[in-house]
């Protein structure tokens, strides 16, 4: 399967996907990386891995529809079949999703449906939860609302601040995203209304 990875920043999750795709038995390759931020370090990670890296700066477009048309143009040109949002700080529209029905994934640093949106780790600390984590889900038109593919949990420790909790969650993100991509692109996990269905146990 040919993946397009959309980023806005550092791209450590992108790196996890690039590393996984470098393994002979991984069922997907990263065909291109697109950032809406020209300075995103993830672009450098892509180039170092020999992967096409493009900037589609949302600021250069008069409307969201124009921005997304340009984004889709790059992805289509690269032959992308599946889209992975990896720290991509723009909401994608239902119209964009129609180009990749059931084939857009996102990673979010909370155990959804708790703490969608920005600063999920801070939200978790403020709420006083004792277990936090991350979620990979299919993307729908809502914010962090789509059917859940996989989750990983970490403890919240008494001395945690936002940075220490985020780092603990991020380490799990790097493990979880490649696993979830594998489940999705092999069809082991499929959409089933508001949930996902597991069709095979993949070890």
The residues binding ligand GRF (CB under 6 A) are 7, 9-14, 86-87, 107-109, 170, 173
Q: How far is the CB of 90 from ligand GRF (least distance, A)?
A: 11
Given a contact cutoff of 8 angstroms between Cβ atoms, the answer to whether 12 and 40 are in contact is no
Q: How big, in percent rounded to 5, are the helix, strand and coil portions of the chain?
A: 35, 25, 40
Q: Which of 119, 169, 133, 125 is nearest to 13 (CA)?
A: 169
Q: Smaller CB distance to ligand GRF: residue 13 or 36?
A: 13
Q: Tokens standing for 51?
A: 């992967």
Question: How many residues are present in the chain?
Answer: 203
Q: How far is the CB of 10 from ligand GRF (least distance, A)?
A: 4
Q: Which of 96, 46, 91 is nearest to 71 (CA)?
A: 96
Do strands 189-192 and 195-198 pair parallel, antiparallel, or not at all (unpaired)?
antiparallel
The Cα–Cα gap between 28 and 81 comes to 10
Q: How far is the CB of 2 from ligand GRF (least distance, A)?
A: 20
108 is catalytic: yes
Q: Smaller CB distance to ligand GRF: residue 69 or 122?
A: 122
Q: Smaller CB distance to ligand GRF: residue 43 or 80?
A: 43
Residue in 58, 108, 137, 174 annotated catalytic: 108
Annotated binding-site residues read 11-13, 64, 89-92, 106
Question: Which residues participate in catalysis according to the annotation?
Answer: 108
């Amino acid at each position: 399967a040919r993946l397009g990875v959309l980023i806005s920043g550092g791209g450590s999750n992108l790196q996890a996907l690039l590393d996984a795709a470098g393994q002979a038995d991984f069922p997907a390759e990263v065909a291109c990386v697109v950032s809406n931020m020209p300075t995103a370090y993830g672009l450098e990670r892509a180039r170092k891995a020999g992967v096409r890296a493009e900037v589609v700066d949302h600021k250069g477009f008069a409307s969201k529809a124009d921005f997304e048309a340009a984004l889709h143009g790059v992805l289509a040109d690269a032959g992308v079949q599946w889209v992975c949002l990896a720290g991509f700080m723009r909401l994608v529209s239902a119209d964009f999703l129609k180009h990749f029905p059931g084939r857009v994934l996102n990673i979010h640093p909370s155990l959804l449906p708790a703490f969608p949106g920005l600063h999920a780790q801070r939200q978790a600390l403020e709420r006083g939860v004792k277990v936090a984590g991350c979620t990979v889900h299919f993307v729908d038109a809502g914010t962090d609302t789509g059917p859940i593919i996989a989750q990983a949990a970490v403890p919240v420790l008494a001395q945690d601040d936002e940075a220490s909790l985020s780092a603990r969650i991020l380490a799990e993100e790097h493990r979880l995203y490649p696993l979830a991509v594998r489940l999705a692109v092999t069809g082991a996990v499929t959409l089933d209304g508001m949930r996902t269905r597991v069709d095979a146990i993949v070890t």
